[in-house]
Amino acid sequence: MTAHSSPDDALSRHTDYGQLALEEGALLPDPIEQFRVWLGEADSEGIYEPNAMVLSTIGVNGTPSSRTVLLRGISDHGFAFYTDYTSRKGQALDAHPHVSLVFPWYPLHRQVLVTGVAEKVSVNDSDDYFASRPRGSQIGAWASDQSQPIASRNDLEAKVQAVEKRFKDVDAVPRPDKWGGFVVKPETVEFWAGRRSRLHDRIHFYRTADGWQTKRLQP
Ligand SMILES: Cc1cc2nc3c(=O)[nH]c(=O)nc-3n(C[C@H](O)[C@H](O)[C@H](O)COP(=O)(O)O)c2cc1C
């Protein structure tokens, strides 16, 4: 990491965004299919963690909170991610299932915004995904009571060691009940492409009884 740039430089820069037009006719009629295309492009363009998304939830007391999670599945049901159900976000989703997702692909001058409703994925899906994780992550899921305070890093390492000991003779670490997936069923999906002079393109998909419709939004 170099130390040549000041925070003020970062605050005052005015990057003019790309010239790639986003035309309604060039988008697939199903936003989930269109999302797959853009995710593939983000990956082939070398975006770091292209499946990282900012998930915003409404807390038990109505306070919003946001954090990054990794998209692990896309299907007709929606956008799936995995987490600890007892975490802050897990508790928030129990109280208020409405969420928003942001895929911030800044180097491509693109973002995708999703709003929708989250529900737990099936136990089978959670089992399958948990089984595909590296053993260290499986142990970590048991050891960490995500979002709860802990006195020190040493205390956390001690919890990890206790879990490792517990499963030392077990080949396949089982999934803890408290850990699993959510799938966000989209209600709106907006494709945003940066254009010159902040005159960006925004194509907003929304669900109707007749299927997906689109409208163009002003930048
Ligand atoms: C790139 C990145 C990917 C992450 N992926 C996940 C994830 O898939 N699941 C998860 O529970 N936390 C993930 N995290 C950690 C979360 O951002 C967050 O710290 C954690 O889930 C606790 O959030 P909460 O206290 O709001 O529930 C990720 C963080 C980063 C920076």
- The amino acid sitting at 172 is A
Of 36, 166, 198, 216, the catalytic one is 198
pLDDT tens digits along 159-209 = 999 999 999 999 999 999 999 999 999 999 999 999 999 999 999 999 999
Cα 180 to averaged position of ligand 1 atoms, centre (Å): 13
Phi, psi torsion values for 83, nearest 5 degrees:
-165, -175
Label residue 121 by pLDDT band (50, 70, 90): very high
Percent residues over pLDDT 70 in the chain: 98
Ligand 1 binding pocket mutation candidate from 68, 102, 137, 144 (most atoms within 8 A of CB): 68
Mean pLDDT for the chain? 95
Cα 68 to averaged position of ligand 1 atoms, centre (Å): 5
Q: At residue 148, does pLDDT exceed 70?
A: yes
Cα 67 to averaged position of ligand 1 atoms, centre (Å): 6
Q: At residue 19, does pLDDT exceed 80?
A: no
What gap in Å lies between CA 22 and CA 192, rounded to an integer? 8
Mean pLDDT to the nearest integer, 27-54? 97
Percent residues over pLDDT 90 in the chain: 87
> Does 198 qualify as catalytic in the annotation?
yes
Residue 32 near residue 78 (C-beta atoms within 8 A): yes
Q: At residue 3, does pLDDT exceed 80?
A: no
Task: Tell me the β-bridge partners of 99.
Answer: 116
Exposure class string for 169-188: b at 16+ Cβ within 10 A, else e: eeeebebbeebbbbbbebee
What gap in Å lies between CA 57 and CA 66, rounded to an integer? 6
Q: At residue 4, does pLDDT exceed 90?
A: no
Residue 124's Cβ-count burial label (10 Å; 0-12, 13-18, 19+) is: exposed
Q: At residue 44, does pLDDT exceed 80?
A: yes
Phi, psi torsion values for 13, nearest 5 degrees:
-70, 145
Ligand 1 pocket (Cβ < 6 Å) reads 49, 52, 65, 67-70, 81-84, 87-89, 146-147
Q: At residue 1, does pLDDT exceed 70?
A: no
Label residue 81 by pLDDT band (50, 70, 90): very high
What gap in Å lies between CA 128 and CA 122, rounded to an integer? 10
Closest ligand 1 atom to 68 CA: 17
pTM: 0.95
What gap in Å lies between CA 202 and CA 66, rounded to an integer? 23
Residue 208's Cβ-count burial label (10 Å; 0-12, 13-18, 19+) is: exposed
Mean pLDDT to the nearest integer, 62-88? 97
Q: What domains does the chain contain, in order, with CATH numbers?
A: 17-133+180-216 (2.30.110.10)
Mean pLDDT to the nearest integer, 50-57? 98
Write down the pLDDT at residue 2.
60
Closest ligand 1 atom to 72 CA: 8
